[in-house]
Amino acid sequence: MNEMELKYGCNPNQKPARVFMEKGDLPFTVLNGKPGYINLLDAMNSWQLVQELKKATGLPAAASFKHVSPAGAAVAVPLSETLQKTYFVEGIELSPVATAYIRARGADRMSSYGDFVALSDECDAQTASFLKREVSDGIIAPSYSEAALEILKTKRKGTYLVLQMDPNYQPEKIEKKQVFGITFEQQRNEVELTEECLKEIPTKNKDIPAAAKRDLLISLITLKYTQSNSVCYAKDGQAIGIGAGQQSRVHCTRLAGNKADIWYLRQAPQVLSLPFRDDVRRPDRDNAIDVYVGDEYMDLLGGDNWKRVFTEKPPIFTLEEKKAWLATQTGVSLGSDAFFPFGDNIERAHKSGVAYVAQAGGSIRDDNVIETCDKYNMAMAMTHIRLFHH
């Protein structure tokens, strides 16, 4: 089949809508549900992302996409005991692909609400079982076990979108799109991100260990499929904060840094010991945690509001306690899809425990950025690769 009619385009008033191939058949098969326009944009972008993560790291990869940018991306690095508790999978032996998915979904659970999931490897029954519990619009993978497919077909009253991608599909070198009746054409961004791009290190600290190189590549590959401007914080084999689509780079750095802070605050003892009621739904639990670690915790704890989610009123997570916990965050990697124009980005990154940076370089203030990295003993690689994505 080389053409598929869609319900509508980006919005219900945008009809008719379809996807089609100028040559050959569509490279995916619909196993369940009916795809929408945005579903397929998310599917094609997220598929490319997980394929590149798998190629760069040799590990199964997963991504959680919303509105054509990743909310999370990860590879199958085993979870620490703390992260098992944070992701509510304590004591469960996870398959590699399930590990990648749990990490990707756990990066920014609020943004992942209603996401589109991509897996680099076959979806197994365990991953499907975890996914069944989440609010999600669809999934793309190269294959599904028989048990996994049966589980996914029961999701969303049988309408959950399941796409099987042809792993051998290779697109044309030239890509096109239309905007306002005008056709744009360019060569596909086929730049390959490997450790070779991390060799130029102009900072005094030139030590980037293997785990940090892996995380820097994860951040850069994630940015390759994130709406620009964008930056990505990564640690332990996963993105922990993604700032997408901002006009100012420092705003990207702040947005992503705030998300990285929330990710780390979720691991604090005060959060891990929260007394949730058994009947609290997963989205309500996640929202309660984000409120608890944020500046609006009094809205949650004021009056009898806490009774909606907790069995007993938890103590307030004070600003001083949060600052003290965040000060223990270390070893974070930060990637940027273009150069950092000023050292203010590095100042903000330092507050979230960043120790390793990868950016294109080429700013007239590169010296200021390098000096700021040296101030905090960060190691920074200049890749000379811009990764704008629109």
Whether 387 is in a domain gets the answer no
Do 89 and 191 belong together in one domain? no
Query: Do 101 and 55 fall into the same domain?
Result: yes
347 within a domain of the structure (yes/no): yes
Same-domain pairing of 333 and 284: no
DSSP conformation letters of 101-140: HHHHHHS-TTTTTTEEEEESS-B-HHHHHHHHTS-EEEEE
Closest CA to 141 of 87, 92, 100: 100
- CATH number reported for the structural domain that contains residue 188 in this entry: 3.40.140.20
State whether 155 and 286 are in the same domain: no
**The domain containing residue 24 runs over which residues?**
3-170
The 3-state secondary structure of 63-81 reads EEEECCEEEEEEECCCCCH
Identify whether 389 is part of a domain. no
Is residue 143 domain-resident?
yes
Q: What is the pLDDT of residues 80-106, one digit of tens each?
A: 999 999 999 999 999 999 999 999 999
Asked, for residue 321, whether it belongs to a domain, the answer is no
Q: Please indicate, yes or no, whether residues 50 and 84 belong to a single structural domain of this protein.
A: yes
Name 242's Cβ contacts closer than 8 Å, sequence gap at least 6.
69, 70, 71, 72, 73, 107, 108, 222, 226, 230, 231, 232, 233, 256, 259
> Is position 195 within any domain?
yes
**Residue ranges, the chain, pLDDT below 50:** none
Q: What is the pLDDT of residue 120?
A: 98
**pLDDT one-digit tens code per residue, 307-353:** 889 999 898 899 999 999 999 999 999 999 999 999 999 999 999 99
Q: Is the peptide bond prior to 283 cis by the omega test (within 30 degrees of 0)?
A: no
For tokens 């293997």, name the residue. Answer: 210
Residue 270, C-beta contacts closer than 8 angstroms, at least 6 positions apart = 314, 315, 317, 321
In this structure, the answer to whether residues 235 and 299 fall within a common structural domain is no
Give the residue numbers marked as catalytic.
66-67, 229, 390
199 and 160 co-located in one domain? no
Domain membership flag for residue 233: yes
pTM reported for the whole predicted model: 0.95
Residues 239 and 285 in one domain: no
**Domain assignment of residue 60, yes or no:** yes
User: Left (φ > 0), alpha (ψ -120 to 50) or beta: where does 241 sit?
Assistant: beta
Question: What total number of domains does the chain contain?
Answer: 3
Angle, CA 103 vertex, CA 278 and CA 297 arms, to 5°: 50
**228 and 308 together in one domain:** no
Residues 251 and 341 in one domain: yes
Same domain, 196 and 153: no
Q: Are residues 163 and 197 in the same domain?
A: no
